Amino acid sequence: MRVVFIGPPGAGKGTQSQRLLRYLNVPHISTGDILRDAIRRGTAEGFAAERYMNAGNLVPDPIIIDLVGQRLDQPDCAAGCLLDGFPRTTGQAEALDAYLNGRGIPLDGVLELRVNEEILIQRLASRARVDDDPNVIRQRFVNYRERTEPLLDYYRERGLLATINGMGSPDEVFDRIRAALQEFARTTASRKASRTSG
């Protein structure tokens, strides 16, 4: 199964993606992790990305699209993957569509994890990442609202979006995610059936 996971900083995406990975048994493609790893290894992409990340800004699309394309080309992604934190802009979503359409592989669905903003700020205040400084957090929210939220409409129009209520215990949230995945599987199956019969 191929699933995109979208949510604002602090929504609990990290916790839920660990569960999702175990449940789906697919590779985890987290652009944040890929970028942090590139910085640690001192690669050219890492060098180019670091100043954007430290300021809470999005890394430019061409860098991200290239990194994700390389990762999706790896054989372990053939049966599916969890895309976590990608796409984050309409440009990235279009690039992903082009990649998948070019290879005839479907995206099964997009999970949006939604949590009220005050809770998000409280949760972030208790983490200790370089980009969790209050000003940087604010910037990351602005980017989410301005650049990532428009994607939700993009996927809603394509019938791929499931909005998950992210409030409650991790188990409660994961139950909602599991229900959405079952719905994705049904939708993919019926899309496939209508393609073969039409």
Which positions touch ligand AMP (CB under 6 A)? 9, 31-32, 35, 52-53, 56-59, 64, 85-86, 88, 92, 131, 140
Least distance in angstroms from the C-beta of 60 to ligand AMP: 8
The distance of closest approach from Cβ of residue 137 to ligand AMP in the complex, given in angstroms and rounded to an integer, is: 10
Neighbours of 47 (CB within 10 A): 11
CB of 12 to ligand AMP, least distance (A): 12
Minimum CB distance to ligand AMP smaller for 44 or for 196: 44
Q: At what angle do helices 44-54 and 31-41 cross, to 10 degrees?
A: 120
Nearer to ligand AMP, 139 or 188 (CB): 139
Q: How many CB atoms lie within 10 A of CB 189?
A: 11
- Residue 117's closest CA among 147, 87, 141? 141
Kindly tell me which of 56 and 166 has the beta carbon lying closer to ligand AMP. 56
Taking the CA atoms of residue 8, residue 154, residue 147 and residue 120 in that order, the dihedral angle to the nearest 10 degrees is -10
Q: What is the closest distance, in whole angstroms, from the C-beta atom of residue 188 to ligand AMP in the complex? A: 24
